[in-house]
Structure 1
Amino acid sequence: MLLILALLLTGAIVPAQDDPVFRAGVALVHVDAEVTGQDGRILTGFTKDDFRVFDEGKEQAIVNFAAEEQPLDLILLFDVSGSMRAVVERVAASARQAFRELRPGDRVSVMVFNSRSRVVAPFTEDLDAVDRTIREDVLEGGFGGGTLIQQAVDDAALRFLHEKRSQRRRAVLIVTDNMGQRTRREETVVRDFWEADALLSGLIVPNTAYQTMRTVGIILGPQNLLMQAGMKGIAQKTGGDAIRADAPETAFQDAIHRIRSRYGLYYELPKAKPGTTRTIHAELSPEAARRFPKSRVRARTGYVVPAS
């Protein structure tokens, strides 16, 4: 992903043949990484030796490696402002097919937002129930109101932050036109995602009315300007991305596939003051980079040191 989603786990990982095994006593940083080729498609088949991870510029020893084994908690966050009904209808029609990308043990929750956010369905492994929630509760719940995107994604991060820390991976997938008033500082939202050990991915549906709204905003003043909400920058810093979705039904399935197709890299947490932020960088090893020229590793750009 960048994707680093740095998931901080209390417990050391013992290398194993299958799933990673955690041993209490050592704090670890979990780096969730995605590798894409020059064309943007997912690349697979990597091993631990194909990656390098740096914390504050210093290379770290990867103590274990996992590929897709950890269960996932996924929040689906739907923009239900007035212009989004047709888009959500197309996503709803494709949801059942898209959920085939998930694995047994994965859980999904549904949230919606316009001028405020709300939880429509709690986390559940019942994907048929999630499908019904999208088709019935979301679509029949009404569309309209403002679009406070940054506040909504921050609310999703805070849901994770307030839950008990676990070894489950965490991700938020937002479907929006990325048009709204900026109500939260980007740095605040990113820090909350880092502290929650969560990833943000976005499907940005083109809004042909943008130029008209931009002109109105210029005439009426900055406080009325409906602007791009800066989702891409936030997503990339958490290890995800925000992509243009001209065909939201197929893009929805592809986004879930990408979230599920990641590598888990683990290294020991360096000594640092709790509450401080540290930078992370993940890349392919020189040999792997030669095999896959112009490839890219997505991973989060930092994390918050947890309290001991």
Structure 2
Amino acid sequence: MFLQSLKRVLPAAFFLVLLAVSCFAQTGPSNTFAGIQIELPAGGHLRVENQYGEVAAEVWRENYVSVSATIEGAKTFARSPVIIENRNQLGIRIVRGPSDPAAAIRLAIKIPETAHVEIVTGSGSIRLRGVPAAAVVRSIAGDVNIEFLQSVNADIVARSAKGLVRSELPQLLSENGHLLQARLGSGAQTLRINTETGPITLSPVSNSAVSERPDSNSPDALGNEAPMKAAGIPAPASETQEIGEGDIIRVDSQLVTLNLSVIDRNTNRGLVGLSKSDFRLFENGAEQQILQFESSAAPFDLLLLIDLSGSTRDVVKLIRAAALRFIDAARPSDRIGVITFAGRPTVVSPLTLNREVLRQRVSAMDTSAGDTKLYDATDFALNHLLQDPKSSRRTAIILMSDGLDGSIPGVQGDGSQLPYKDLLSRIQEFDGVLYTLWLNTEYESLSPLDTQPEAFDAGYDRMKEMADTGGGVFYEVERLEDLAGAYERVVADLGTVYSLAYRPADKTRDGKWRAIRVNVNRPAAVARGKRGYYAN
């Protein structure tokens, strides 16, 4: 039943879905999913996200990641809330379906010392014991507690916009109550902590706190105080239940999904009405069998991602009008959502078919404060689309920006926490399509404090590269008045997108690039989309 319900499969990925069998039928103070061990992919990158509770992380001396999760209260879920994705980086996410109770979920992980980890929560707290090779810790409203080993060598930046940064280490002093920048030892490790309202606390812990190989007879270092029962054995109401290794369903799909727009090179117009037999697909020159096919008429989930940084009310008025034109032009079967951003992303409207509600929310859209954090906002949008794992719809993000993330040299203000190269990896893994609309905001630089021409060029180039990596189309919008027309061209292009999926004949996971070529059996037809993937 579970495999049949897994309608949407991400490309070149496998999910370890922690599924409770008989335990979900029981009630008690909590349900726990424990004892899952996953190897880090090459490069050691790990991303952990829990928007529904806290994260407790601990550095240990093993070379794999250990994962467990606890649902608080006497709640039952229709499926496991933990999804583990292993592609270019290891991703661990907590999801909660529409029918699941609004219960807090505690995620506990142990990570290798060599890992490069990012931990993200909404209002849930984050506790990190020890510092791996690199760590980025981000929360909107949760408390963040970092416990340092005495021998740590770390370059540290801790910032809370409205909360306080406290340090119990005498060599680490907060500069103004909201910011701490310091280096311990050689600074070989990096630690970046950022919250909006949550406090940040830095404190020492003894070296002996770093975990060795887990002892099955001892309590878990992250708070399980008693040995666990075997999976499937009903527990009394006062006990915690766990899922053992034998109850895990491992889904190794190996399906690669492609979204392709097909145009006539002579007229530059999209071709509709094609069938599966019109396509031939090749990976590294070897023809592959197309297992799944969706025509250009299949519905989309469309997410408008709109940069409002530095916008005046008059500018926002034009952007509103352009977004409304997009809504009117889109097909009635397509769900549309809207996210705006400057310093932080704002969900103006979740994905919906209700055009009237959507128009009302877009019409109320207003300016956003803060520096441009384009890469963080795009990452937020990618995660937003992944929150509904049961959706069988195709997905697309339509990003409008001048590309000037604050992390680009020559751009004033704070930039994204997520590096640009890491964002490209996330886009490469995205099984949807990304369109970018580059808005020309360049002006004559009269001062060294002004944004320099090189920065505008970098913003242009990166917006183009993002669309290319995301299998979409890059549009240049020279004047804001032309934005509505660009949005309408995107809608027209989406109407020519076909989706194909195949299982590679070469099942070797060697981390190498696999080039993809698609031939269309129509004169002058050209297929545009992602040109390959890394076989991780």
Q: Which TM-score band (shorter chain)?
A: 0.7 to 0.9
Paired with 1:275 and 1:150, the residues of 2 have a C-alpha distance of 28
On the 8 A contact 1:78/1:88 being kept in 2, the answer is: no
Give how far 1:244 is off: 0.7
Match of 2:489 in 1: 254
Paired with 2:464 and 2:448, the residues of 1 have a C-alpha distance of 19
On the 8 A contact 1:282/1:299 being kept in 2, the answer is: no
Match of 1:34 in 2: 261
| Unaligned residue ranges in structure 2 (runs of 5+) | 1-8, 14-250, 408-415
Matches within 5 A, 1:1-20: 7-8=10-11
Paired with 1:168 and 1:213, the residues of 2 have a C-alpha distance of 49
Give how far 1:34 is off: 0.6
On the 8 A contact 2:513/2:533 being kept in 1, the answer is: yes
Q: Closer, same or farther in 2 for the Cα pair 1:57/1:162, shift >3 Å?
A: farther
Instruction: List per-residue Cα deviations over 1:34-71 (Å, max 9, x = no partner).
Output: 12335644333434344332234432122443312433
Q: Give the letter aligned to residue 235 of structure 1.
A: A
Give how far 1:94 is off: 4.2
* Percent sequence identity over aligned pairs: 25
Match of 1:301 in 2: 531
Per mean C-alpha deviation after superposition, the further-off stretch among 87-96 and 125-134 is: 87-96
Match of 1:279 in 2: 514
Paired with 2:502 and 2:403, the residues of 1 have a C-alpha distance of 35
Alignment partner of 1:192 out of 426, 434, 457: 426
Alignment partner of 1:164 out of 386, 389, 399: 389
Q: Closer, same or farther in 2 for the Cα pair 1:163/1:196, shift >3 Å?
A: farther
3-state SS in 2 of match to 1:207? coil
Q: Closer, same or farther in 2 for the Cα pair 1:69/1:83, shift >3 Å?
A: same
Q: Closer, same or farther in 2 for the Cα pair 1:61/1:212, shift >3 Å?
A: farther
| 1:152 and 2:377 correspond | yes
Give how far 1:25 is off: 10
Paired with 1:90 and 1:132, the residues of 2 have a C-alpha distance of 16
Give how far 1:270 is off: 4.1
Paired with 1:84 and 1:100, the residues of 2 have a C-alpha distance of 24
Give how far 1:249 is off: 1.1
3-state SS in 1 of match to 2:270? coil
Instruction: List per-residue Cα deviations over 1:178-201 (Å, max 9, x = no partner).
Output: 223344444422322343412211
3-state SS in 1 of match to 2:530? coil
On the 8 A contact 1:38/1:296 being kept in 2, the answer is: no
Instruction: List per-residue Cα deviations over 1:205-232 (Å, max 9, x = no partner).
Output: 211326558883569xx9xx56633111
Between Structure 1 and Structure 2, how many residues are aligned?
Answer: 276
Give how far 1:172 is off: 0.8
Paired with 1:210 and 1:277, the residues of 2 have a C-alpha distance of 44
**Rg larger in structure:** 2
Give how far 1:111 is off: 0.8
Taking structure 1 as the reference length, what is the TM-score of the superposition? 0.74
More contact order relative to length (CA 8 Å, sep ≥ 6): 1
Q: Give the letter aligned to residue 373 of structure 2.
A: L
Give how far 1:269 is off: 4.2
Q: Give the letter aligned to residue 112 of structure 1.
A: T
Match of 1:208 in 2: 442
Match of 1:124 in 2: 352
Q: Give the letter aligned to residue 249 of structure 1.
A: A
Instruction: List per-residue Cα deviations over 1:258-288 (Å, max 9, x = no partner).
Output: 2232112232244546795753423334x53
Higher helix fraction: Structure 1 or Structure 2?
1
Paired with 1:127 and 1:119, the residues of 2 have a C-alpha distance of 16
Per mean C-alpha deviation after superposition, the further-off stretch among 173-182 and 82-91 is: 82-91
On the 8 A contact 1:181/1:226 being kept in 2, the answer is: no
Q: Give the letter aligned to residue 517 of structure 2.
A: A
Matches within 5 A, 1:80-95: 80-83=308-311, 85-95=313-323
Paired with 2:456 and 2:328, the residues of 1 have a C-alpha distance of 36
Paired with 2:314 and 2:526, the residues of 1 have a C-alpha distance of 33
| 1:58 and 2:286 correspond | yes
3-state SS in 2 of match to 1:240? strand
On the 8 A contact 2:325/2:487 being kept in 1, the answer is: no
Paired with 1:99 and 1:275, the residues of 2 have a C-alpha distance of 43
Paired with 2:381 and 2:457, the residues of 1 have a C-alpha distance of 21
Paired with 2:400 and 2:308, the residues of 1 have a C-alpha distance of 9
Paired with 1:239 and 1:213, the residues of 2 have a C-alpha distance of 38
Paired with 2:331 and 2:309, the residues of 1 have a C-alpha distance of 31
Give how far 1:135 is off: 1.2
Match of 2:110 in 1: none
Paired with 1:275 and 1:190, the residues of 2 have a C-alpha distance of 20
Give how far 1:129 is off: 1.4
Q: Give the letter aligned to residue 330 of structure 2.
A: L
Q: Closer, same or farther in 2 for the Cα pair 1:276/1:102, shift >3 Å?
A: farther
Q: Closer, same or farther in 2 for the Cα pair 1:122/1:264, shift >3 Å?
A: same
